Amino acid sequence: MSYDNILFARDAGIARITLNRPDRLNSFTDAMHAELRDALAQVKGDASLRVLLLTGAGRGFCAGQDLSEREVPPGTEPVDIGATIERNYKPLVLTLHALPMPVVCAVNGVAAGAGANVALACDIVVAGKSAIFIQAFCRIGLLPDAGGTFFLPRLVGSARAKGLALTGDKLSAEQAADWGLIWKCVDDSELSATVEALLKQLASAPTRALAATKEALHAAAGNTLKAQLDVERDLQQALGRSADFKEGVAAFRAKRPPRFTGS
């Protein structure tokens, strides 16, 4: 499939997806979603990949759903957005969440509506200082989708989640980092270097261990302590047989840096 709405590149264990409709602040269209599905299927099927980057082209990260696709002439039925969520947003969020590798989101500018919540579905979010997060849904008569009602209270607590979702107020990247909504806020001029260093680090990490860490942390949300200890035991048992664990121990014993292969 050729891509008109995203850029997709793979190199040295790193996959990069760039939302690429800068004149529309990279807002999501049906066509962009189809391309994202295709690219993410390739990421999932490529065992050489060890980290994924999601970012946006131009001055914004993503302004959510392209609202020009939601305008209807008078007298006609509105678009069934339950169906578009099922087709587009639900698989996107579930795929990013479950991908067996870290997903880094570089928020290079405004992240609004589903654009904000798709960022929150990623594992590590780094934003430039000029970026802002907006739960824009209430401004147009909707509720936070793309996982917003799931991620927001878990990340920042109920009071802040409600404040953000019910007002649609802008949240600066600095405040987002202070609140724990995202991992880090850096000067715009440092965003690229910070993200590249992180990608390099994660691409040479023990990928299976990071995937299992994601899986365990996600499972914890719905587990009792006893059930979670079982999850940890089972995942750790499998990691205990991995080549990377063997290498990690050998490198520690030999007082040298480990060379993880992701296997």
Where along the sequence are the contacts to ligand T3D (CB under 6 A)? 24-25, 27, 63-68, 70, 81, 84-85, 89, 110, 112-114, 134, 136-137, 139-140, 142, 145
Displacement of CA 233 from its chain's centroid (Å): 27
Q: Residue 198, Cβ neighbours under 10 Å: how many? A: 19
Tell me how far apart the alpha carbons of residues 66 and 106 are, in angstroms, rounded to a whole number. 21
Closest contact distance (angstroms) between CB of 87 and ligand T3D is: 9
Q: Closer to ligand T3D by CB, 25 or 39: give it.
A: 25
Closest contact distance (angstroms) between CB of 97 and ligand T3D is: 17
Nearest one of 80, 78, 151 to 114, comparing CA atoms:
151
Closest contact distance (angstroms) between CB of 131 and ligand T3D is: 11
Q: Closer to ligand T3D by CB, 7 or 138: give it.
A: 138
Closest contact distance (angstroms) between CB of 64 and ligand T3D is: 2
- The residue number with the shortest CB distance to ligand T3D is 64
Burial class (CB in 10 A: 0-12, 13-18, 19+), 200: middle
Q: Closer to ligand T3D by CB, 28 or 260: give it.
A: 28
Please say whether the dihedral angle defined by the alpha carbons of residues 1, 90, 171 and 128, taken in this order, is positive or negative: negative
Closest contact distance (angstroms) between CB of 57 and ligand T3D is: 13
Instruction: Give the HSE-up count for residue 245: Cα atoms under 13 Å, Cβ half-sphere.
Output: 12
Q: Closer to ligand T3D by CB, 144 or 206: give it.
A: 144
In the block, tokens 């799931």 appear at 150
Q: Closer to ligand T3D by CB, 51 or 106: give it.
A: 106
